[in-house]
Amino acid sequence: MIWRWIEGHARHAPGAPALRFEGRRIAYAELAREAGRAAAALAARGIGHGDRVGFLGANHPSQLVLLAACARLGAVQVPLNWRLAPPELAFMLRDCAAAALFATREMAALAREAAPPGCAVLEAEAAWPEAPAPAPRGGEADPLLLVYTSGTTGRPKGAVLDQRALLFNALNALHLFGLTAADRVLTVLPMFHVGGLNIQTTPALLAGAEVVLHPRFEAGAFLAACAAERPTLSLLVPAVMAALVAHPGWAEADLSSLRAVGAGSSEVPLPLIEAFHARGVPVQQVYGATETGPIAIGQTREEALAAPGSIGRAALHGEARLLGPDGAEPPPGAEGEIALRGPHLARRYWGGPEALDAEGWFRSGDVGRMDAEGRFWFTDRLKHVIISGGENIYPAEVERVLREAPGVAECAVCGRPDPRWGEVPVAVIVPGPGFDAAAALRHCEGRIARFKHPRAVVTVEALPRTALGKVRLEALRALAAGARSGSRSGGPA
C-alpha cells in the first residue's frame, strides 16, 4: 500500500517535498517514478510476489524506494542491522532464503561477506534504468516487512508485517502525532528497526509530509538540523536523548520548530523527559515491539504534558490490556503483563510459530500497570532482555558464543545499568581449565555485533541458581553491578 500513498501524493501534489537527504530534495513525483523504476528492475531480475529482498545500509532514500517497489510487486523487504557481524547477517539471509541483498556503497564489503550462495549482492544507490512500472501485484494481506528480532533461544526470529499492518500502524501514528502534509520529520534512528522506519518515517509518507533523513545520529548534526531545516517532529531513544542533553550546544540550540519528539524502545528516565520539557519540547512516549508494527500504546502531545513518564493509552486502531499470572485481568492499579491486539500486529514469525494467541493477543513479556485515568505505565520486563542504546540484546545469543570460548565451563549474561547506554551486558563466568577472560571476550569478535559484547567479566565458582536449577536473575544482576567497566576478570565486588 505504501506505493499507493506515494503515487497518490504524486498525483495531487507532484512538487511537494517527500525526502531530503544530504542536500538532495526528492519530490513526491520523483519518488513515485523512482519506486516504479525500482519495481521494474526487480521484476527484470525475476523478483516478484513473495520473494525476499534484503537491505543493508545506513539510512538512505533507496531503502524507502525499494520498500515501495516491494509493496507494488508483493515482495518482502528484509531490513538488516549493519551493526551485526557477518555470521549473524548470513543466518538471517539464509533463514528467509533472500533472493537479493541491496547494500549501500559503504556496506558493500560487509554484504559480500555475509551473503549466502544464491543471494545476489546489488548496489542500492545505483540509478534505476528508465522502464515502465509493472502492474501492481501486492495487496493488503501480503507480507511487506520481515524484521528480525533477537530470539530468547539465542537465534533471531523474523516477524512478518503485512501491508495492512503498515497502514494501520501509520494511522496510529497520524493520530498520536497529529501528522499532516505540513509536517517535516527528522529521521535519525536507524530504519533497520521498526521504530526508525515505522513510528514516524513511513507514516509521514502516508500524510504527504517531508522526511529529512540523516544516515546516522550525531548530536551536533541533529541540533544543527533543528536550526537549519526546521523539523516539526523527530523520534529518539533514551541514549540519544542523553547525548543531546549532554552536548555543549544543547542549552543554546534552536529547538523552536519541534512540536514534539517521540521516544521509546525502553523506559525513558524522567530526568531526560524533564530536560526536553524545560526546552519547550514535549516527549511523547510510544510503546510497542517489532511484532506490533511497532505502535501499540502511545501518548498524544497533550498526554505527554499531562502525564510525563506514562507510556500512554492503547493506540487508536488497537487494543491493550493487562494479564495476571492466571491469564485474568488484574484488579485496578495492580501490575500485569501487557498484552496487545490489533490490525497493526505481525501474525506470525517467518517459518515458525504464530506470534499471537488463539484470541489474537500478543504477549509482550513486559509488566505494566494502569492508572485510574486509563493510562499505562511501564514497570518491568518479564523477558530477560538487555536494552542498550535502543538495541535489544538477548543474553541467550551472547551466552551461546561465550560457551564456545576456551576455558568457559558455564556462563550467564545480564544487564548492568549504564549512564550512557541505559544498560550494558556483563558476563558472569565459571572458569574451567585454560580460561582467560580477555580471550573469552576476544572470542566474541566477528561472531556477534560489537554492541552485544560484554563490557566486563565476573568470575565465580558457581552460578547463582534456584532449587530447580534456574539462574537467579537478581543475584546475577547483583554480581554484574559489582563489575568494573572494561574489567576482564575478577570475582564479585
**CB proximity list for 67: less than 8 A, separation 6 or greater:** 2, 77, 144, 145, 202
* Total of domains in the chain: 2
Q: Are residues 425 and 473 in the same domain?
A: yes
Give the Å distances, CA to CA, from 209 to 148, 183, 212: 28, 5, 10
CATH number at residue 417: 3.30.300.30
- Counting residues of the chain whose pLDDT is more than 70, the rounded percentage is 96
pLDDT at residue 283 in the model: 98
Higher pLDDT, 366 or 316: 316
Task: Name the one residue in this structure whose C-alpha cell is 509536517.
Answer: 183
Does the pLDDT of residue 154 top 80, yes or no? no
pLDDT at residue 379 in the model: 85
Confidence class for position 488, pLDDT limits 50, 70, 90: very low
- Of 338, 370, 402, which one is at a domain's C-terminal end? 370
Higher pLDDT, 334 or 170: 170
Task: Name the one residue in this structure whose C-alpha cell is 502531545.
Answer: 301
Domain that residue 476 falls in: 386-481
Give Dmax over CA atoms of the chain in angstroms. 71
Q: Are residues 333 and 438 in the same domain?
A: no
Is 379 within the bounds of a domain?
A: no
Element (H, E) at 131: none
Does the pLDDT of residue 245 top 50, yes or no? yes
* pLDDT tens track for 81-95: 999 999 999 999 999
Q: Are residues 357 and 414 in the same domain?
A: no
Confidence class for position 325, pLDDT limits 50, 70, 90: confident
Q: Are residues 245 and 284 in the same domain?
A: yes
CATH number at residue 160: 3.40.50.12780
- Of 370, 395, 420, which one is at a domain's C-terminal end? 370
CA distance 290 to 45: 30
Is 381 within the bounds of a domain?
A: no
Is 375 within the bounds of a domain?
A: no
Is 397 within the bounds of a domain?
A: yes
Q: Are residues 169 and 275 in the same domain?
A: yes
Is 493 within the bounds of a domain?
A: no
* pLDDT tens track for 414-436: 999 999 999 999 999 999 999 99
Q: Are residues 70 and 205 in the same domain?
A: yes
**CB proximity list for 341: less than 8 A, separation 6 or greater:** 318, 319, 320, 356, 359, 360, 361, 362
Confidence class for position 12, pLDDT limits 50, 70, 90: very high
Q: Are residues 326 and 391 in the same domain?
A: no
Is 432 within the bounds of a domain?
A: yes
Q: Is 103 helix (H, G, I), strand (E, B) or coil?
A: strand
pLDDT at residue 484 in the model: 60
Q: Are residues 194 and 294 in the same domain?
A: yes
Closest CA to 238 of 218, 216, 262, 211: 262
Q: Is 389 helix (H, G, I), strand (E, B) or coil?
A: coil
Q: Are residues 154 and 244 in the same domain?
A: yes
**438, burial (CB in 10 Å: exposed 0-12, middle 13-18, buried 19+):** exposed
Cell of 114: 555475509
CA distance 194 to 211: 16
Q: Are residues 83 and 159 in the same domain?
A: yes
Is 280 within the bounds of a domain?
A: yes
**CB proximity list for 398: less than 8 A, separation 6 or greater:** 413, 425, 427, 444, 448, 452, 453, 454
Q: Are residues 425 and 291 in the same domain?
A: no
Is 439 within the bounds of a domain?
A: yes
Give the Å distances, CA to CA, from 189 to 180, 213, 241, 262, 477: 21, 9, 12, 11, 29
Closest CA to 300 of 330, 267, 326, 262: 262
Higher pLDDT, 394 or 462: 462
pLDDT, average across residues 443-448 = 95
Confidence class for position 300, pLDDT limits 50, 70, 90: very high
Does the pLDDT of residue 465 top 90, yes or no? no
pLDDT at residue 33 in the model: 97
Q: Is 402 helix (H, G, I), strand (E, B) or coil?
A: helix
CA distance 415 to 424: 5
Confidence class for position 400, pLDDT limits 50, 70, 90: confident
Confidence class for position 4, pLDDT limits 50, 70, 90: very high
> DSSP letter at 237?
-
Q: Are residues 276 and 402 in the same domain?
A: no
